[in-house]
């Protein structure tokens, strides 16, 4: 199946500046996700409780009046103010130089390749001084590392979800539209049931069927299933509309005359016709999964600590009176926003490029 039947569509897509921008963002994000263990300086649950909500490390190039090519950081030391809150001050007595591709935590890349080199880290430090490029969370874990590991959940959940949604939505919509008549209206009334309830309510109700405390991989699976359960109906309805009109066309009659089975006609003749729409819909549906996961994790029904996902990292920001002391806990939200926007841009670009009328 040649998605871009001619070079024109591809060229059109490449001329869509927002789609290209979205594509670049996603390439960067997925690269980071793929090499998470290498890019994150620390493991996702590597905590140092003494560094609770430590501010982002400042990168310096000058120590004691001497310029150094290697960037360096100073550790933070803290005192308590009159409200018994920690105030962090840089302790400029001893510099810690940054190392690139240097040795650090021993982790397993993709779970089975042991590596100890990381993209960056703090060189020779017996005192376990840490670099926090965007600050730390409540128990002194590096927020950047957690965002990097969290992308493993937030950026993959959409693909698994979309796979289920599409299988269901396509077959259901295809069958409904092809047969038409009573079966069609019965199937559609059934599908509409899932669009009748505000999706967040349905999500909560479905989540309630399972124990609140589940392991992260179970929750991951559960979220995929729950959101697919909600999403498929909308897709099925649109595919049904398309296949209803395709089923009346001559080539379908021809296939029927040649004795092709109904299933073959639906799968081989009708559904491929809806493919260009499907590709657009896939891209535009992935954000729903990212947002759904974030929403559930944000309110504590999704991925649980110590596992990281962008949603549950953002839940630290729910305590508003505290965020002003450590506003960097809002940063995971920027990642959610950027990835959602990237998928939306690409979806828009694809729609314009694949639409023959434009």
Q: Which residue ranges make up the site for another protein (CB under 8 A)? A: 18, 189-190, 192-202, 204-212, 287, 291, 294-295, 298-299, 301, 314, 317-318, 320-321, 323-324, 327, 330, 333, 336-337, 340-341, 344-345
Give the angle subtended at the CA of 33 by the CAs of 167 and 129, to the nearest 5°: 155
DSSP characters over 256-285: HHTT--HHHIIIIIIGGGGHHHHHHHHHHH
**Left if phi > 0, otherwise alpha if psi is -120 to 50, otherwise beta: which for 228?**
alpha
Cβ atoms of residues 71 and 176 within 8 Å:
no
- Tokens 């980071």 belong to 32
Closer to another protein by Cβ: residue 1 or 196 = 196
DSSP state of 37: H
Farthest-apart Cα atoms in the chain, separation:
88
In the complex, least distance from residue 218 CB atom to another protein, rounded to whole angstroms? 14
Pairing of strands 103-109, 113-117: antiparallel
In the complex, least distance from residue 224 CB atom to another protein, rounded to whole angstroms? 17
In the complex, least distance from residue 159 CB atom to another protein, rounded to whole angstroms? 19
In the complex, least distance from residue 228 CB atom to another protein, rounded to whole angstroms? 15
Closer to another protein by Cβ: residue 39 or 354 = 354
Closer to another protein by Cβ: residue 50 or 85 = 85
Closer to another protein by Cβ: residue 168 or 266 = 168
Give the angle subtended at the CA of 257 by the CAs of 256 and 258, to the nearest 5°: 90
Q: Where are the alpha helices (DSSP H) in 46-198?
A: 143-154, 157-179, 181-196
Instruction: Give the pair of three-digit tokens for residue 172.
Output: 């259901």
In the complex, least distance from residue 221 CB atom to another protein, rounded to whole angstroms? 16
322-326: long-range contacts, CB 8 A cutoff, minimum separation 24: 325/53, 325/85, 326/53, 326/55, 326/135
In the complex, least distance from residue 314 CB atom to another protein, rounded to whole angstroms? 7
Closer to another protein by Cβ: residue 272 or 327 = 327
In the complex, least distance from residue 217 CB atom to another protein, rounded to whole angstroms? 19
Closer to another protein by Cβ: residue 99 or 309 = 309
Closer to another protein by Cβ: residue 124 or 321 = 321
Closer to another protein by Cβ: residue 146 or 237 = 237
In the complex, least distance from residue 101 CB atom to another protein, rounded to whole angstroms? 34
Q: Measured between alpha carbons, how far is 255 from 269 in angstroms, rounded to an integer?
A: 8
DSSP state of 69: E
Distance of CA 158 to the CA centre of its chain: 7
- Tokens 């009159």 belong to 82
In the complex, least distance from residue 234 CB atom to another protein, rounded to whole angstroms? 10
- Tokens 């009328």 belong to 357
Cβ atoms of residues 174 and 243 within 8 Å:
yes
Q: Which of 270, 306, 285, 290 is nearest to 338 (CA)?
A: 290
Closer to another protein by Cβ: residue 182 or 189 = 189
């Amino acid at each position: 199946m040649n998605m871009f039947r001619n070079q024109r569509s591809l060229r059109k897509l490449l001329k869509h500046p927002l789609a290209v921008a979205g594509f670049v963002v996603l390439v960067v994000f997925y690269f980071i996700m793929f090499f998470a263990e290498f890019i994150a300086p620390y493991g996702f649950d590597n905590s140092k409780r003494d560094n609770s909500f430590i501010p982002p490390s400042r990168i310096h190039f000058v120590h004691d009046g001497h310029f150094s090519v290697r960037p360096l950081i100073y550790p933070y030391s803290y005192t308590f103010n009159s409200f018994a809150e920690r105030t962090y001050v840089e302790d400029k007595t001893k510099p810690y130089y940054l190392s690139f591709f240097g040795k650090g935590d021993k982790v397993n890349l993709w779970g089975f390749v042991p590596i100890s080199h990381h993209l960056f880290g703090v060189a020779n430090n017996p005192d376990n001084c840490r670099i926090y490029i965007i600050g730390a969370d409540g128990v002194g874990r590096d927020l950047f590392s957690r965002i990097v590991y969290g992308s493993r959940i937030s950026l993959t959940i959409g693909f698994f979800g979309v796979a289920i949604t599409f299988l269901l939505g396509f077959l259901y919509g295809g069958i409904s539209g092809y047969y038409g008549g009573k079966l069609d209206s019965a199937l559609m009334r059934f599908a509409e049931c899932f669009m009748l309830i505000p999706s967040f309510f349905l999500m909560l109700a479905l989540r309630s069927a399972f124990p609140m405390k589940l392991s992260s991989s179970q929750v991951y699976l559960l979220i995929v299933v729950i959101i697919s359960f909600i999403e498929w109906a909308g897709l099925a309805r649109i595919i049904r509309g398309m296949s209803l009109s395709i089923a009346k066309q001559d080539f379908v009659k021809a296939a029927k005359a040649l004795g092709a089975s109904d299933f073959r006609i639906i799968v081989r003749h009708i559904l491929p016709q809806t493919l260009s729409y499907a590709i657009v819909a896939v891209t535009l549906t992935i954000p729903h999964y990212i947002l759904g996961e974030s929403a559930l994790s944000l309110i504590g029904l999704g991925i649980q600590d110590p596992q990281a996902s962008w949603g549950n990292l953002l839940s630290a920001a729910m305590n508003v009176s505290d965020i002003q002391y450590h506003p960097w806990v809002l940063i995971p939200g920027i990642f959610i926003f950027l990835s959602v926007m990237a998928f939306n841009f690409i979806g828009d670009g694809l729609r314009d490029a694949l639409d023959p009328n434009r």
